[in-house]
Amino acid sequence: MLKLAVIGAQTLLGRELVGALEPQDCSVLPLSTGALTVAEEEGDLVVFAPTPELLEEIEIVILADAPKDPAMLDGFTGRILDLRHDSNPKLEPMPLVGEWVEGHTAYRARPALEQVLGLLPHLVSDFSDVAGTHLRSVGHMGDQGLDGLMQQSVDMLQGNDPDTGTLGYRAAFEVIPQAARGNLVEVKVPVFHGEILILHLRAAEGASLKALEAPLGVKWIEHPPSSREVAVTAELLAHLSLGSEGRTGVLTLGFDPILWGILRPTLRILGLA
């Protein structure tokens, strides 16, 4: 049985991870990032304060948040999976397919958008050009994103200028386009969970676009998904609307950055799904 520890189990991402891992064939040790508050000690999830001794028999440490003691993992000899949204960029991202590669001691989370774009050849056949818009929620930032948007919303409803310190930008009640990156434009939208990717596809010369059989973790639906539908499923929801003779098409993809972008690939790489 795989022995895991989740550091930051009191956070949004940590709670989701523990909830997804506990029914699997593994042993899960929920750890906080440091000393526990009274609220954490009395919460629904039993969380333990982290100490190096608790990690002695642990095979994999999953970082939902960083331990407050920088030396906490100094003597740890197992594997580390860093799932924080601001994880160490020098770490290699987890593979798109398959389980943990032998010889690798640490991975970081791969952005959900990157995972979605990697699926395109398995969703639609014979496309050449791709352009589109990514409607991005604050959910990918975990508690920081949710707390920041909620506080900004309260500030504005009370007639005050929102505090942008938590998120780094003004988010409440605003839609904010970013500078285009190649053929993709990111638009920050004021929702907690559920992201939408709207892609404009053009078929290769002499070919027509065609929807392929949905791969694992993807579900074709009969209408473009809403952010609400996406926020309550661990699947990527897909809808394809074809133009004349399939020469062009609009592919709408909906995914939750935590449920689909982190939990599913975590279970996969650990060999639990």
- The answer to whether the CB of 221 falls within 8 A of the CB of 238 is yes
What pLDDT sits at residue 256? 94
Matching residue, tokens 């994103």: 145
How many Å apart are CA 252 and CA 230, to the nearest integer? 12
Q: How does pLDDT run across 31-87, given as a tens digit for each residue?
A: 998 876 766 665 667 788 889 999 999 999 999 999 998 889 998 999 999 999 888
Q: What are phi and psi of 88, to 5 degrees?
A: -60, 115
What pLDDT sits at residue 95? 94
How many Å apart are CA 153 and CA 136, to the nearest integer? 17
DSSP 46: -
What pLDDT sits at residue 241? 97
Where residue 247 falls (left for φ over 0; alpha for ψ -120 to 50; beta otherwise) is alpha
Residues in the chain predicted with pLDDT less than 70, given as ranges, are 36, 38-44
What pLDDT sits at residue 40? 63
What's the pTM? 0.86
What pLDDT sits at residue 208? 96
The two three-digit tokens of residue 134, written as one number: 């990514």
- The answer to whether the CB of 140 falls within 8 A of the CB of 85 is yes
What pLDDT sits at residue 153? 94
Where residue 101 falls (left for φ over 0; alpha for ψ -120 to 50; beta otherwise) is beta
The domains located in the chain, with CATH, are 2-110+263-269 (3.40.50.720), 113-256 (3.30.360.10)
Pairing between β-strand 210-211 and β-strand 195-203 as defined by DSSP bridges: unpaired
